[in-house]
Amino acid sequence: MPNSLQEMELKHLESAGECVCLELMRSTRSTFLVVLYLGLLAGSGATAFAQTSSQGTTDFARYAMKLPESALVRIQPKVAMSPTNNRLAGNEAGSALSGKNGLGTGLGEYSWKLAITTTVFWIGEQATVNNPVPNDKSAWDIGWFSSYGGFDSPSSSDRHDFVPANFIPHQNPFYIALPYNDVDDHHTKPEAAQVIPWFRNAFVQDGQSVCKGRWVAIRHGRKVCYAQWEDVGPFQTDHWQYVFGDERPRPNPNSDAGLDVSPAVRDYLALDSVDVCDWKFVEFFNVPRGPWAIYGDNNPFYRLRRPRPTSVAASPR
């Protein structure tokens, strides 16, 4: 059983898939134990380090909790501009891609995927020719529609401040889909451990996705938006060579799209229904403040901002 609020939060983040934060905290804790041991041998030094470790964790929580909702919807993150044109054709973009990819990194910087055709999808979307699978469920949540809280209408008249106007979403409205699923038939795919950069840090058990909930940055023009990976597509479910490597998206009826984004992402970046964006994976601790930090039980920002439950001593019978 967890013996402190910090341990409870670690377990909570692990179950939600935010294992990067967990790994960092575990590393800090392991380092503390080593220093404590050496300090006991030397007779000093461990106390000061313990204070530094505790302070770092506290500062991280305070950062995530100090998020005024009225201001978040207006924040514009700084943009790291690319020397390439954001609307390069596929072959030109391919030649502009860095040879570096995310394989084997896990806790570092990831490379931008440049000039990726981007389409819009939404929770509750019905099946069409260009969307063969209805979006009432996701690859990782058979009750996605209910989990979200309703129909995430893409119509501007049905939306306000990046969310549906008629209900408060239960999950982060800034979500995306990428064409790889690390789970098949309730089991983790054999290649997942080799191709997913953060697999070792995030794996919990067979059949539990380590991709669901991961953060990505999406860049369009001079704006950058942040969102969580919550579904699989467009069209493909096994293209790890693109998602984690250097390949381009495979041909498909949606102009060879390689990224699906939610209406909230579309609105923030002012995208057309079919547009071109850059994207990359980002670790949670590198995600800045913004409207993506307000809503959602699946959102670590939201979880850290909720009041912690206080323990009440049992009254005598």
Distance between terminal CA atoms of the chain?
Answer: 25
- C-alpha span between 77 and 4 (Å, rounded): 34
- C-alpha span between 141 and 50 (Å, rounded): 40
Q: What is the predicted pLDDT for the residue at 295?
A: 96
- C-alpha span between 84 and 92 (Å, rounded): 9
* Closest to 17 (Cα-Cα) out of 191, 160, 141: 141
- State how far Cα 187 lies from the chain centre: 22
Long-range (24+ apart) CB contacts under 8 A made by 156-159 are: 156/267, 159/263, 159/267
Tokens of 223: 């704006």
Set out the domains of the chain in order of their start, with CATH numbers: 5-66 (no CATH), 82-288 (2.40.40.10)
Q: What is the predicted pLDDT for the residue at 215?
A: 98
Cβ atoms of 263 and 122 within 8 Å: the answer is yes
Q: What is the predicted pLDDT for the residue at 128?
A: 73
Q: What is the predicted pLDDT for the residue at 79?
A: 57
Read out DSSP for 20-62? HHHHHHHHHHHHHHHHHHHHHHHTSSHHHHHHHHHHHHHHHHH
- C-alpha span between 5 and 11 (Å, rounded): 10
* Closest to 38 (Cα-Cα) out of 24, 55, 50: 50
DSSP state of 128: B
DSSP state of 4: S
Q: What is the predicted pLDDT for the residue at 68?
A: 53
The 3-state DSSP class for residue 159 equals strand
Q: What is the predicted pLDDT for the residue at 124?
A: 94
Spans in the chain with pLDDT lower than 50: 1-58, 60-62, 64-65, 67, 82-106, 313-317
In angstroms and rounded to an integer, the radius of gyration of the C-alpha atoms of the chain is: 21
| HSE of 108, CA atoms in CB hemisphere, 13 A | 9
Q: What is the predicted pLDDT for the residue at 29?
A: 45
